[in-house]
């Protein structure tokens, strides 16, 4: 049997808190602006300045948690 992998570095905790913050920014932006395209949402929250793939990850997690959803016309809306 192989040994257990080592625990994740402590930076994982900070990164997890960061993604909750990013998800909150996304939800607040959608509540303020109403349904908008993912591209518009990225601009509103400044997602293009976030680390690589952070916007996509936060948006995907917000969707999987039921905080946001995609409308029939492809826009993103707060749930």
Q: Sort strands 68-70 and 76-78 into parallel, antiparallel or unpaired.
A: antiparallel
Model pLDDT for residues 45-73, shown as the tens digit of each residue: 999 999 999 999 999 999 999 999 999 99
Domains of the chain: 12-78 (1.10.10)
Query: Closest Cα partner for 47 from 60, 65, 32, 34?
Result: 60
pTM: predicted TM-score of the whole model, two decimal places: 0.80
Residue 9 has pLDDT above 60, yes or no: no
Summarize pLDDT for 19-36 with one digit per residue, the tens: 999 999 999 999 999 999
């Amino acid at each position: 049997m192989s040994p257990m992998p080592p625990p994740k570095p402590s930076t994982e905790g900070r990164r997890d808190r960061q993604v909750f913050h990013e998800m909150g920014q996304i939800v607040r932006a959608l509540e303020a602006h109403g349904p908008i395209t993912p591209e518009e949402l990225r601009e509103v929250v400044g997602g293009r300045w976030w680390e690589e793939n952070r916007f996509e990850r936060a948006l995907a997690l917000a969707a999987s948690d039921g905080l946001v959803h995609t409308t029939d016309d492809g826009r993103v809306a707060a749930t």
